Structures are given as structure tokens and as C-alpha cells.
Amino acid sequence: MLGRGRFSTVVQEGEEAVKIIDIDDQCAPHNYRAELAALKALGEHPNITEMLRTETTRGFEPQCRIYMHLYPLTLDHVLFDASKATYPPGSGWRNRLNPDRIGSIARQLAEALAFVHSQNIIHRDIKPENILFKTTDSEPMLADFGIAWVPGFGEDPKVCDVGTAEYRAPELLQGKVYTNAIDVWAYGCVVAKLCSTNSEALFTPYRSDIALWDQQQGNLKESVSSLRVFSENVARILCLDPALRPTASTAAEFQW
């Protein structure tokens, strides 16, 4: 098994990955029809996972099976592969990802996200687990549109209970109306993790959303201080005001 979500499982079949969705168990923001529509609209981008074909079965336990190319590694695997033990032994690990590699991943992810937004789609769950690789040296692939907001699927009125805690934008934490800027915030958190000298988690979820946000700010400011250009980019992306946050297209043009 490659992965498991609340209403789906991803398994390997030969050289393909298959996402198996339990149709009857789904509830907002999960919508397999919206996911299929998103994948159909986004399939031609070189940094977005491509839907090869689908199968839908009816009966006692109806399922939708989405077949995709196999990308067995996540961004966390790539970071771990690039990490080295610190001195003295046992004191932790340090990220040794090459700055050129960091910049390449950051730029390609921004380009993929910009394409998503150009189709009026909001991913809503940008995180390392949804950034896939074929090998540790290959190109990043944005994956998992299981809770994406897609135009035309009005049963999901942009609920705020989306995303993964550590990567949720302030407007989500505050229960406000949001735009695709929430994806840009989460992308900024991912880039901060890419740049961090500490390969361990930048954030640990607290019981309080406010405490979590305070912790995010402190850890993110410290995490990328050794890479000045990247640090400036992350600071621009993680703007508290979503209206002033750069778009994904703008972030793709940053100096990485």
C-alpha cells in the first residue's frame, strides 16, 4: 500500500498507482466527481500527476478506481535521503539538499500550482505527502486532488475544514471566506521545510489553532535564515493578508 486517506487507499499495481475511493462513504469536502474533473482539466501539466483511466464499480460497496503513473516517493523521502547526521551523534539530522535542487523544486511546484489556479481550481491540501517523485533526483509531481474545490460542484460551499493542520492558512484557521491564496500559504510552508537546515518537522500541531499559528511564525522565521534569498521569498509568500499574498504565478518568477 502506498497511502491511505479517510475515504480512499492508494496501492501499486505493476508500474501504476491506483487510488481506490469508497464512493458511498464520502462527505464534503471529499468529492470523487470533483477530483476526476480536476485531474481531467490538469492532466497535461508536466508537474501534475496524470489520470490514465478510471473504473467505477457499483453494487454493495461502490468504488471508483483512478489509475496513474507510479511515483513511490514523497517530498519527505527526498528530504530524508538528503539529510545527514549532525555532530555529536544522536543530536539530530541536518538537511543537506543542494540549494539548486531546492530552487528547482520550489519553482516547478509554483508553476504547477499556477496552472491549477488558472483552471479556477483550489487544491486545498498542499503538503509534502502530496508532492511525489519517481526517484530522489526526479521532478516533483503535485498529487491528490481529493478535496480540491472545482467550479460546478456546488454541494461544497468552500468549507473551512480543509487542509492539513500545519499547512493551513490564517484565513482557514479563522474560519473566513478564502480564495486560492490558501494554496500559496501552504506552498510557502512547504518551501520553508525545503530550505530548513533541520530536516525534522517544522511544526507540531497544538490543541489550539492560535497556538499553532504562533508556532508556525516562530519556526518559519528561524528555519530558512541561512538561505537569504529563499528566506526573503518565503517571507513574501507567508503574508498574513491573503489579498497581499503573491500569486503562484508570481512566486514562480521569484529568484530561486
Domains, the chain, ordered by start:
3-69 (3.30.200.20), 73-252 (1.10.510.10)
Tell me, what's the pLDDT at 207?
43
Cβ distance 117 to 180 under 8 Å?
A: yes
According to the model, what pLDDT value does residue 236 have? 92
- pTM tops 0.85, yes or no: yes
Whether 216 and 189 have beta carbons less than 8 Å apart is answered as yes
Instruction: Write out pLDDT tens, residues 97-125.
Output: 888 999 999 999 999 999 999 999 999 99
For cell 490538469, the residue is 42
156 is catalytic: no
Residue linked to cell 503574508: 239
Give the separation between CA 76 and CA 197, rounded to whole angstroms: 14
Terminal Cα distance for the chain, rounded: 35
Q: Mean pLDDT score of the chain, rounded to an integer?
A: 85
Q: How far lies 247's CA from each of 1, 70, 111, 130, 183, in Å? A: 35, 30, 10, 20, 9
* SS3 state at 231: helix
- Which tens digit of pLDDT belongs to each residue from 80-100? 888 865 555 555 667 778 889
pLDDT in tens, 35-63: 999 999 998 899 999 999 999 988 778 88
Tens of pLDDT, residues 198-238: 645 555 555 445 445 555 556 555 555 556 778 889 989 99
pLDDT 10s digits, 170-184: 999 888 989 999 999
- Closest to 164 (Cα-Cα) out of 218, 116, 216: 216
161, 30 Cβ separation under 8 angstroms: no
**From the candidates 22, 125, 161, 183, which is the catalytic residue?**
125
Q: Which three cell numbers stand for residue 228?
A: 537569504
Q: What is the distance between the alpha carbons of residues 140 and 121, in angstroms, rounded to a whole number?
A: 19
Task: Pull the grid cell for residue 193.
Answer: 521545510
